[in-house]
Amino acid sequence: MSDGPTATTLRRIARASAPAAPLTPARALRLALTRAAERAVGLPLAVLGIREEEGPLDDQLARLDGGLLLLALRQEGGPLGLVALDGEGRAAAIEAQALGRVSPTPPEPREATAADAALARPLFESFLREAQAAVESTPLAGWLRDPSVAERLPSAREAAMLLPDGRYRVVRMTLDLGAGGRQGLLLLLARLPEPPRQLGPPAEAPEATVATQALRSQARVEAVLHRLRLPLSAAEALEPGQLLPLPGVTVASVRLEAGGVPLGPARLGQVAGMRAVRIETPLAPELADLAGLGAPPAPLLPEPAWPLPPDGEVPGWSLPQSEEAPDWGPPETVPMG
């Protein structure tokens, strides 16, 4: 059976109905640049390769080659990035506008000028319009939002002073200029948009955060029955098992302290066979208490008369029978009233 018009028509219909390949960022930018060069300056070029990377601004600017024509990019919110052409690229853009073609002879290397920037501006503006529309259906959607070509930047140093810190995407496009194997470079650098804020419960207020951390911290509380001072000789003579006299001290003489700041009175007792203190009526907190932090606490009771007897022995002493520490029973039955 011959391959007639009907078979050809069916093949065309099949190709037309086949699903189109997804548009990648590289293909979108390639198409945008080829269209822009042809329409803006009459330069028929091809894109040989595209390299894309992301990173901090300083790292990206440090990789810029010398001799590039740099023009700043701005948007409504301020500086956005920059666009650049190397010497071959800007020479081809100028030749296409002045001569209608690209010379097969490479130009002599020279520094970029303000005239170069003016002649290359139509190419940059057309490319940005095309690129913004082309990348909207790719993962680069939102990267370029209404960019405009602004002032010329003499060097990467001026670019670093103009552009805010942050992460930037850089696209380097190697160009086939179509004459004698000449190749050029176009570079586009633009700041990445801020990542969207994650939805979730509202963050804790700073006061709540501080309070939470403070309540989780540890505080050392000391139960002080009495303080006394001893001569150094008497302190050196102390031995395990000796008893010290505490005149006027009772089971109700306990005071609670934290860092030298008094917290209130307590009472000495026993719970489950262990020494314990029961908190009595606490003192109301006062800001004046803060002044006592770090200062040595005052004695709770008058110091006992001293010195020790001549023989160096410390007289025995214990709480009177009527003032022995009471046993409050198991912890769950301790009277707190």
- Using one digit for the tens of pLDDT, what is the confidence trace for 21-36? 578 889 999 999 999 9
**pLDDT value for 3:** 53
Q: Name the more confident of 190 and 11.
A: 190
Res 208: pLDDT:
53
Bridge partners for 275 per DSSP: 270
Confidence of residue 305 (pLDDT cuts 50, 70, 90): very low
Q: What is the pLDDT of residue 87?
A: 94
Per mean pLDDT, which range of 8-12, 253-257, 272-276, 287-291 is the poorest? Answer: 287-291
288 has pLDDT over 60 = no
pLDDT, position 77: 74
pLDDT band at 258 (very low <50, low <70, confident <90, very high): confident
The β-bridge relationship of strands 46-56 and 69-75 is: unpaired
- pLDDT tens across 56-103, in order? 999 999 999 888 999 999 988 799 999 999 999 999 999 999 999 999
Average pLDDT of the chain to the nearest whole number: 78
pLDDT of residue 8: 57
Torsion angle defined by CA atoms of residues 29, 31, 35 and 40, in that order, rounded to the nearest 10 degrees: 10
| Contacts of residue 132, Cβ cutoff 8 Å, sequence gap at least 6 | 144, 145, 146, 147
The CATH homologous superfamily of the domain defined by 21-191 = CheC-like (3.40.1550.10)
Give the pair of three-digit tokens for residue 148.
């405009």
Three-class SS state of 33: helix
- Which residues, including other chains, have CB under 8 Å from residue 211's CB and lie 6 or more apart? none
Confirm if 255 and 265 have CB atoms less than 8 A apart: yes
pLDDT at 190: 93
207-236: pLDDT as tens digits: 556 666 666 677 788 888 888 787 888 888
Query: Nearest 5 degrees, angle CA 297-CA 298-CA 302?
Result: 145
pLDDT band of residue 245 (cuts 50, 70, 90) is confident
Share of the chain above pLDDT 70, in %: 70
Task: Please compute the mean of the pLDDT values over residues 128-154 and round it to a whole number.
Answer: 90
Element (H, E) at 20: none
The per-residue pLDDT for 171 is 95
In order, the DSSP letters of 144-171 are --S-EEEEEESSHHHHHHHSPSSEEEEE
Query: Is the pLDDT assigned to residue 318 strictly greater than 50?
Result: no
Residues of the chain with CATH 3.40.1550.10: 21-191
165, 153 Cβ separation under 8 angstroms: no
